[in-house]
Structure 1
Amino acid sequence: MKKEILVMLTASALTVTAVACSKDEGVEINNDIAHKSSGQSAETTSSQSESSYSLEQNEIGENMSADEKEANELFQFYADHNQFGKYVKSVEKREKTILVTLGNSYEEMKKSQPFNIQYNEVTFPELYGSYVKNDDYSNLNAYLIVRTAYTLANYDDIDRVIVNVPKNSKGKFYVADVKREDINLVLGFDVNTLKRGDKETDLGEEFITKFANEYSYKQSDFYADANTRYINKFIKQSSQPIKVDKDAVAIINTYYLPIEDRPTMTKLFRNATEDILYADYITDNFNVTSNGIELELDNKIIEEKGEEETQKALVYISGRLLAEFPELQNVTILAGTEKLKVNRPDLTKLIGKDISTLVDIDQGEIANWNDWATDFVGTYVDGNKLSTYIKAFQK
């Protein structure tokens, strides 16, 4: 579920994000043209707050021009990537050119993708240090190659695609600049023939078989290698980002997520707990507050499992939720007379790291919880530090 565009909680505390790929403030659309909004989302315990936010966002969506809708759609497409999607900062349409700008900080991500709750300030990864290790640009190149080519294949009104990636350790921007006429020459055929069919999903069969499989990664050291030719023609390091002196018809600085794609915090909570250990004991008596979640376990857990196992359940569930939602600050959990109030800063002091760093969400469609199971569950639930955790957060 970490790889879906999740949506959530509040401007004051749990601002939610979700990416269909891999969004505090409202949607800011078309900065130097029209439609602006600085409205904040706030799903607290008040249903009125949630409905008023939804109405405001809905009106913005309905007021989008065709160009803005297209740019917003492309924003989602570029953000729909496990590694590099989180860095998408803006998508501009300037006449027949699409200009995509990537950022490299948590603050930039929260402004451009306010519904993205996959990270907090501690867990947000630095682009080059995390994904371009030892100057290996192969994954970044594959991202740029596939995204730029797909854009030209599927958007007939676009003749040029530019992607500006922030400065690397050498102070150079990494940029892709692909024109339709040039890619047609490189391919030896019209890129439009790779267009995804109306009933196809993902990138489309033609695009995958005739382009992505051949061009995404280097296949050989031969000079005519498709990946090498694409990179040499369209991707380079530059002292400056590429700019476009064309009239802007759409600028999306903040991704707009339609209401129907925004799950409530109730749904997020249920999705996160429906198949975990002790799920059968979680009651419907839970509450989303301005800075956390309060929940109760059915008293039958004490009768059926005993006191020690009940304590393990409290530790397991609180640690699971704080690991699942990096922006969540507090989890209060009750079972009979046993109550824990776990806050992220104190938990970080206890275990020596932010618990969300134990979950790897960037390497595949399914999050890897192995480190969390070993380092947290193995130590504080099943290990010898159960009583330490209980004493630290018992109320």
Structure 2
Amino acid sequence: MRRDLYEADHEAFGAAVRAFLDREVVGHLDEWDAAGIVPRELFTTAGKAGFLGMAIPEEYGGGGVDDFRFNAVLGEELVRAGAGAAGLGVTLHNDIALPYFLRYATEEQSRRWLPGIAGGELVTAIAMTEPGIGSDLASMSTTAVRDGEHYVVNGAKTFITNGINADLVITAVKTDPSQRHAGMSLLVLERGMPGFERGRNLDKLGQHAQDTAELSFADVRVPVANLLGEEGQGFRQLVANLPQERLSIALSAVASAAVGLEQTLEYVKARRAFGQPIGSFQNSRFVLAEIATEVDIAQAYVDRCIRALNTGELSAEDAAKAKWWCTELQGRALDRCLQLHGGYGYMTEYPIARAYADARVTRIYGGTTEIMKELVGRSLGL
């Protein structure tokens, strides 16, 4: 089905992204996978090319274009290039962390941080999850106690994307530990603050090129000037930004399923068994027909969500639907595509193997499938 989401500017942007990825990224993917991290230079190079902070106003060094379709193009092209894991840090920087700065930063904070975010000199992350808690954010134990013009932060976070590379970490803390949701605030912790330590770069099942780290805070003195938004409003801020985060995950998931389908179609046409291409068997045709149909239907819904986000109409429930359905589709489709590759599908030299391993976590991060269904269920008055 022909998509009508993108206009000429988006198509030109996509062509520029493809050229950038071919030149700067694709040849390094094996190296970065082995290292478990992408170099910091990837962010500055992407910034110079205009692929960071597209929504940041021009006065702060950004693109000045608040159109999520550009983010979608970048996310899809990363997946098509096989660089979804390597580019996850860039996607998080643009799609997930940046909106907090754009919505809640003061003028002084904007002058201090936005130019570096746009240029890639300041890599961002967001730290919510803690050891022992995942979805139950209100139970977090990281505290920030006011002491004059500073907060004293103690606690720990885990599973933090960009955890090693990040310079600015939007950190969810309890400024009032006696409260649950009402006691949460967002502080920006900066690289080099005494007591702010990074633990190991976590060894994961997939997404190997993406640095995912543990962070610890021991009496970290954070200036009150680094409070993002108002004290006690952290949970509301997180809730307000989660729909875009979940849509970002959903669109990459659909792109991953679509690329897996393309790769499998190519494989089953070339691979022969019993004297004929394995794609000619009825089972192969039926499996691929089902995947193609589901991808087209999911893509149509995601495109509609992107339009709704651009007009400020994307609800938390609709984003939750997109997130859980598309990531489940991603896992289901890639599993079936790998099966059609036979034993070769289990070999990491084949892209389908990496895509399969990388996909598993998408049903967990950004809100598990179960939590997404809970949000949808509550919206039905249940």
- Structures share fold, TM-score greater than 0.5: no
Which gives a bigger RCO, structure 1 or 2 (Cα 8 Å, sep 6+)?
1
Q: Which has the higher helix share?
A: 2
TM-score, with structure 1 as normaliser: 0.28
Give me the TM-score of the superposition, normalised by structure 2.
0.29
